[in-house]
Structure 1
């Protein structure tokens, strides 16, 4: 398989593995590295999300967004596994998961129920998710990581992007992403 570094196909798993190797070489051991490998379901979801984004934003911007999501998740996972998060941080992460779950449920609903799309609701839910996550990230990660996450949520909240996804007929990639999200939500994994 050709990795994304060789100019071949871009893949969430490749980026995840590179981020894990780089970060863990500084803070963790080999058992931590094995525990953080991006699972197959998450990799497929991120790859489908990337396919959806590539149709709507510049390819490089889409890839950068997914890469930043992976890096932040890896870094927070390492901090959590090594007991570096306080009780307040854990509560903030739980609030983030709850708010982001609302975002995912809304996305699925917009795809399953005609004329249910509400841009304002989704933008508010994304903003609240970002604020919950930002409170943890600011205390533990670099300013660069905080800025990257702001960029991720900024792009994801763009009205034009959201309208292109959910206003009007849905394209096959968006429908496939919604089905994948529904499956993971039903399994309790998201």
Structure 2
């Protein structure tokens, strides 16, 4: 039986179009100014840490594409009740990660790279499970790329050095995270 749905087709087209034009202007409906500021700061930090501008751009572009696609799936009611429960678990884990990141920043010498890396890895695994049947293997690779990049213990250690070069970046990231937590976004 040939199953055709214009709604499904429209969603596929939207995902494809947004994949090819994922930039600040086209994704403002899914990513607010605060989140955009955090992404900019993550980009600056990644670029300076790795010395690789194109890799830093690719990580942020992958992150934006994933956020937009998940936003589209939510907006089009594509998640089952069970998946919505998984999404709540992901949001709780993301909130825990944000609170932990902020706490490690505010209280010097409490940073634990293992804890932070495990939180990010746990978020990645929940997200992969959530989108398992909705996104392509290429998108799953993007999720892995983003979370594996930011869960790198060396990258995290450099970011959290109390008197380190990247302290201003961390300050701006945590300020944005704090605002998202206060707003209830995460």
Shared fold per TM-score greater than 0.5: yes
Q: 1:174 to 1:34 in 2, by over 3 A?
A: closer
Contact 1:36 1:77 in 2 (8 A): no
Aligned to 1:138: 132
Structure 1 residue ranges, 4+ long, deviating more than 6 angstroms after superposition: none
Aligned to 1:44: 37
Aligned residues: 165
Aligned to 2:68: 74
RCO (CA 8 Å, sep 6+): is it higher in 1 or 2? 2
Aligned to 2:49: 56
Contact 1:20 1:36 in 2 (8 A): no
Q: How much does 1:166 deviate?
A: 0.9
Q: Which runs of 5+ in 1 are unaligned?
A: 1-18, 26-32
Per-residue CA deviations over 1:13-37 (Å, capped at 9, x if unaligned) read: xxxxxx9781399xxxxxxx89835
The two structures, once aligned, show a CA RMSD in angstroms of: 2.3
Q: 2:81 aligns with which of 72, 84, 87?
A: 87
Q: 1:121 to 1:35 in 2, by over 3 A?
A: closer
Q: Which runs of 5+ in 2 are unaligned?
A: 1-13, 21-25
